[in-house]
Structure 1
Amino acid sequence: MLLEQLDTFLISRVDPYANQLDIDSMILKSRFSELGEKKLLAIKVASEFNGIAADRALNHDYFARLARSSYALAFLTAQHESCASLLQKGNNQELKADLLPEMVQGKFRAGVGIYHLRSHTRRAMIMAKKVAGGYRVSGRLDWISGFDIFDYIALGFIIDIGNSQENHEVVGLVPFKVQQYLSGEINIGPKQEVTAISSTNTVAIEFNDWFIRDKDIMIDQPGRAIEQRSILSITHATMLMGIFQAALNIIGNSKSILKKNTVVLSQFNQLNNQCLLLRNQLIHTNTQEEVQKMRAQIHKYTRDCIYLAAALSGGRSVLADHPVQRLNRELLQATIAGVNSLFIHNLCIDIN
């Protein structure tokens, strides 16, 4: 039911606007809101919070379909889904009850600021200290997406617990807009000039002694679980699959060539079969190594498929508004989204 409803929406409201959605944040925000109106956001939220409680296979097919039609919309939706997942995994029951039903409907729109938790630099990007009633945070993140679309972000930071060797991973909600008070500030930089999906409004955000109340804390747990979950997540690979499928659609539309050239037709059929095989293998991965190996394989097939689509499209494929150019840009974005050492390692193996 969900996928049929999603397909109907994508055909009428997304596919005809695919190029605009990559560059126009107002159209992107509108389509994101429409997904919420149809209760097609935050699909992994449990039924007790009016969610669909999507399993891994359904979540994969949902994001692959989104990315096939618009990687920008899929990327934005994935940020919102990540925030909802963090909230659902946390222990703030009151916040869950208040916000998760609204996230399903897009009434509460939020992204994430946790990429720095994957960084192994010696100096933390966000410095935080526990104070009465909450936390004070200071620091700067260079890349946060969804400005002027999301109202809040889930900000992650690490706290040293006293003299012990144990760290705590904390995630709290902060406003995604300029805030200036005597007690703390949030400053937002200009929108970044980026090559791909500029409509997602990526900015830098800086905190100066900003106060996060205890009641806005989503997660407070020992260890570094968020980093590990990020590498285990199949969402980045899933959205690559969507780009792969979009390239296959371009090849499939080259009907005159497919009829005349049996070699191209054979390759097209092989790629279609490979796409289905990769999907089934991906949703059954269990370890970080398996996930990132699959992601690298999907990347290779997606890249090859895009170039075959370009060749079959001829000279038109170099036009700025041709779908192949959009897929090229989206592939670049999908390559660096959630990048990690395991993925890079497997990319190198595939290159060799």
Structure 2
Amino acid sequence: MNSQPTLLAVAESYLQDVVAPNAAILDQDPDALKTALKGLGSRHLLGLKLPEPWGTVDPQTAWEIQEAIARYSGALGFLQTQHQSAGSAISRSHNQALKAEYLPHLATGKRLLGIGVSHLRRQGNPLVKALPIPGGFLLSGTVPWVTGFGIFHEVVLGAELPDHRAVYGIIPLVNCQKSGGQITWNAPMSLAAMQSTQTVSGILEQWFLPEEKLLFMQPAGWIHESDRKTVLNNTCLLLGCARAGLDIIAAIAQKKPLPGIAAAFNALDRQVIICRQNIQQLLFHQSREELDTWYSQALLLRVQAIDLAYKTAQGAITVSSGASNLGESQAGRVYREALVFGVSGQTSAVMEATLAQLMRSP
């Protein structure tokens, strides 16, 4: 009988013993956050979206591990998912040499990458353009969001071709000049939440992306179709955040034995459990052959997860009373994390469905 702990158990142990006691520091200190990320890597927890032989767990366990990370530190949860998404993109590439270079080192964090593709969802004039030239592409434009500056050294970036197809490749996440091209990353943004994740914008000026660093090209509008298929992917972060809010309510219920607090915990806990079960059923056990039908169900569950992250965070604020206004308040931190997770990877459809949820009469 195998007595080795499962990877989920390894993750839970590290998160409870090392990450949770330092969650407030990880929210503010980039160096501490980088150290925590390396701790995930030393436990082979940074290859959750990679196929065998580089990946280490099945998709449902990977989802549950990311849920646990977000529960104990939203900043770490958000940062690691950037690397996990970059790794997933690399694993889907047909560039065998590039895969051989990166994939063996992603799970352990020996190679760390961010991802910058959200601008491809925007309508109108593309923010980052790719011009085909012999041997590769020239990239120019403004990258509005990349997380992990000073933590990651490279980023998987998307850019739009003149025919509206998209190019995905790897570029440096450091300021640099080469062969007449230049990448300039601005100072980290001042954010309302997760300041430690070092989110920046950048400017590309005639930066040469060689074919050796090309992952793949996708047809026009591909990202929108991909968003439909992956609409439930970040629910692990949302429900991890919801569980963090519930942890605070449960802890305060021990100090303030008021029936209203216990009732609120029980009601919200039940809602989170049911939502989680429904998401896992749809995500891991239901066919997507009828994508429109699957997506309509998935979109509702995504909105439910957003709503629960907000409600449990508000519950944590409420039971924490005036102490929630303190800078070191755990409730305040989780409330800010809900803000981030609620709009991460947001599409127009997710925004509209979220607004519809908010407008429903109680």
Give the TM-score normalised by structure 2: 0.90
CA distance in 2, matches of 1:306, 1:152: 34
**Percent of counterpart pairs with the same letter?**
27
- Whether 2:329 is the aligned partner of 1:322: answer yes
1:259 shift after superposition? 4.7
Aligned to 1:6: 11
**Over aligned residue pairs, what C-alpha RMSD do you find?**
1.7
| 5+ long unaligned stretches in structure 1 | 162-166
1:182 shift after superposition? 4.1
Aligned to 2:76: 73
Q: How does 1:5-44 map to 2 (within 5 A)?
A: 5-44=10-49
1:126 shift after superposition? 0.9
| 5+ long unaligned stretches in structure 2 | 1-5, 289-293
State the Cα deviation string for residues 50-83 of structure 1 (Å, max 9, x = none): x21431x222211111111111111111100111
User: Which piece of structure 1 moves more, 229-238 or 134-143?
Assistant: 229-238
1:320 shift after superposition? 1.4
1:242 shift after superposition? 0.8
1:188 shift after superposition? 1.1
Q: Which of residues 245, 251, 254 in structure 2 aligns to 1:253?
A: 251
CA distance in 2, matches of 1:304, 1:63: 21
State the Cα deviation string for residues 97-122 of structure 1 (Å, max 9, x = none): 221111111011101110011111x2
1:317 shift after superposition? 1.9
**Partner secondary structure for residue 165 of structure 2:** strand
1:142 shift after superposition? 2.0
1:253 shift after superposition? 1.1
CA contact 2:309–2:342 (8 Å) conserved in 1: no
CA distance in 2, matches of 1:125, 1:205: 11
CA distance in 2, matches of 1:311, 1:160: 52
Q: Summarize the Cα distance change of 1:308–1:222 in structure 2 as closer, same or farther, 3 Å threshold.
A: closer
User: Which piece of structure 1 moves more, 2-11 or 331-340?
Assistant: 331-340
1:294 shift after superposition? 1.4
CA contact 1:67–1:239 (8 Å) conserved in 2: yes
Aligned to 1:101: 104
CA distance in 2, matches of 1:243, 1:280: 16
State the Cα deviation string for residues 136-180 of structure 1 (Å, max 9, x = none): 11111122111000010011112245xxxxx43210000101111
CA distance in 2, matches of 1:278, 1:225: 29
CA distance in 1, matches of 2:296, 2:202: 32
- Whether 2:52 is the aligned partner of 1:52: answer no
CA contact 1:22–1:70 (8 Å) conserved in 2: yes
- Whether 2:347 is the aligned partner of 1:340: answer yes
CA distance in 2, matches of 1:258, 1:280: 30
**Partner secondary structure for residue 28 of structure 1:** helix
CA distance in 2, matches of 1:236, 1:156: 20
- Whether 2:301 is the aligned partner of 1:294: answer yes
CA contact 2:86–2:114 (8 Å) conserved in 1: yes
Q: Which of residues 113, 119, 123 in structure 2 aligns to 1:110?
A: 113
Aligned to 1:164: none
Aligned to 1:124: 126
Count, aligned residues: 343
Give the TM-score normalised by structure 1: 0.92
- Whether 2:185 is the aligned partner of 1:188: answer yes
Aligned to 2:313: 306
